[in-house]
């Protein structure tokens, strides 16, 4: 094998090795893992009659800890407004009953993709008071821009 081919082969293999090592280190240090299966699923047509989505809303489950059960549908969320005290931890469980939607809280790291019938769970702590929008960031039709809701964080409730 010619000298230059050996050099380029070594550079290619070396680059691949560096890429795999860096990717492996980043995955381990940041805790990045593939999802564990599909999680909980329900039939999209039966979302509104299946527990806990038959009673969407906010539920207090502990001291300053809440569970928000939210259904997304064409151009809306049910409920579209939740009020919590400052410092509260909210465990979101969200699903879609019709098409792919998004659930994004700008300024927070909450960014979920909602597939019909797939229950997505995510926990977010709200340490500052104010009003935070949650909105759909997956195009879902002509009224997509009207699909939003609010998390209202109050100093005291």
91's tokens: 């465990």
With b for 16 or more beta-carbon neighbours within 10 A and e for fewer, the 118-155 pattern comes to bbbebebebeeeeebebbbbbebeeebeebebbbebee
Q: Rounded mean pLDDT of 120-125? A: 91
Mean pLDDT score, 41-58: 91
Q: Which of 24-28, 80-84, 94-98 has the lowest mean pLDDT?
A: 24-28
Q: What are phi and psi of 129, to 5 degrees?
A: -80, 160
Cis amide prior to 52 (ω within 30 degrees): yes
Structure tokens at 12: 């290619």
- Give φ, ψ of 17 to 5 degrees: -60, -45
Does the pTM surpass 0.95? The reply is no
What superfamily does domain 44-154 belong to in CATH? Cupredoxins -  blue copper proteins (2.60.40.420)
């Amino acid at each position: 094998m010619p000298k230059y081919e050996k050099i380029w082969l070594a550079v290619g293999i070396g680059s691949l090795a560096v890429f795999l090592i860096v990717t492996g280190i980043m995955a381990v240090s940041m805790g990045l893992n593939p999802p564990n299966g599909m999680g909980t699923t329900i039939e999209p047509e039966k979302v509104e009659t299946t527990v806990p989505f038959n009673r969407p809303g906010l539920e207090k489950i502990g001291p300053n800890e809440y569970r928000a059960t939210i259904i997304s549908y064409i151009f809306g969320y049910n409920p579209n407004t939740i009020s919590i005290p400052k410092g509260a931890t909210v465990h979101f469980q969200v699903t879609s009953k019709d098409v792919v939607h998004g659930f994004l809280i700008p300024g927070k790291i909450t960014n979920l993709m909602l597939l019909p019938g797939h229950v997505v769970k995510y926990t977010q702590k709200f340490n500052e008071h104010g009003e935070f929008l949650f909105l759909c960031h997956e195009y879902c039709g002509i009224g997509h821009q009207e699909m939003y809701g609010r998390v209202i964080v109050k100093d005291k409730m």
